[in-house]
Structure 1
Amino acid sequence: MQIEIPDQGGFASALVHLKPGESFVSEAGAMYVASDNVDIDVTTRARSSGGILGGLKRLLASESFFLSTYRTTDGRPGHVGLAPVQMGDVLRVDMDGSVPWLCAGGSYLGSASTIDVDSQFQGFKGFFTGESLSFVRLTGAGPFLVSAFGRIVEVEVEGGLTVDTGHVVAYEETLSYSPGKLGGSWLQSFLAGEGVVLHFTGRGRLLVQSHNSDSFGRRVGSMLSPRS
């Protein structure tokens, strides 16, 4: 499956080229252009992911309730253009089927139909850290797309790594995290402007975003005039 990301950076998008028989799944509403031979099927599930229940679980992961599936209808190749809501990078990740991935906080943009899309509850970790209560869990083999606010950076974790909350995009399930503080005490951590951080352990790939959309929203919001 050919996927182009023509304008990586602040306003990235993806162009998915579909051969006859291929299909691609995305968040509903992510499509901005498609060839006239592409059929769009909007459902609450992708493959085995739970119908209405699967849609509700994705809502907890800050994802759309609905998913769109794209395929050609006339035996000819086609294409579909996908873009995230917020400004930033789009990255393709290829899965070989050996390790599931977890996507945090609305970063999932789309995936090949050979990948199962489900949600994994994060428990009180998600509530305490300000991350989503559920992450989107991807299993299977094929490409998937993630988006971020700002630049996406891939890190190979071997042992441990500390990441500020609001910067996690996606990670391999061979990694685990726990919330904690940065510095010697909680007071020092909050005075330094860090608050809660995530301590990752294990060995695997981690994608982080350079900017925090929540912090950006609070900064912009404080500059706006009060509503009348």
Structure 2
Amino acid sequence: MRLDLLEALNAERAARRAAVVVTELDSGAQRLVTAAGQASDPLARDIGAALASGRSGMVGEGAGRAFLAVDVPPPRLLVVGAVHISQALAPMARLAGFDITILDPRTAFATPERFPDVPVIAEWPEEALPAYGLDPFTAVAALTHDPKIDEPAIAAALTAGCFYVGALGSRRTHARRVERLAGAGLSQAAIGRIHAPIGLDIGAASPAEIAVAVLGEVIRALRLGGAAAGSAEGAAA
């Protein structure tokens, strides 16, 4: 790979943006296609499909054959709320390959003792999220049941195009949440992306079972192309 391409690719990686290195097999020519430049590329449709799947592979036929090397940021899971569900969810998410962080301003709960080997941010979402840097390859699970903590994080996640945004609470609780988020200026389309009540419907009862349901829903969103869709929404916002 040419040095300029490698430097550009590393810049995309550092910014947690997806990119594809296209190698034309007939000529050996290479180019880097970023999410911003995808639409104007001759292989835009194939590149879009590759980004959605996160898999590298061959496309085209004859002289038009090319290899698409997909480079997608590792998925992250930001859990808002240092609660019992989070304690069960954290080790499961790490085993599933997620870079997990716990966010909760309540210092009595957000402690390293309760979440060993997991980054814990004991700050309010408004203070912590700019430095954390939400993006389309991040999932956000809001679990505190406290609107003052959950909703700023939910709003920021929707604005950033996170591939998954879920919130704990009953349908009645979520209906009131929707009213507040709409009043804060979020569109109905954005609010409609919230998974609430959070988690797959598996009849979960205990904190550990709810954690399984949440992780399953996050993985489904990731593997069905939610990150690629979120990237497109974020670029359009």
Structure with the larger strand share:
1
TM-score (norm 2): 0.26
Structure exhibiting the larger radius of gyration computed from Cα positions: 2
- Structure with more relative contact order (C-alpha pairs < 8 Å, separation 6 or more): 1
TM-score of the two chains, using structure 1 as the length reference = 0.27
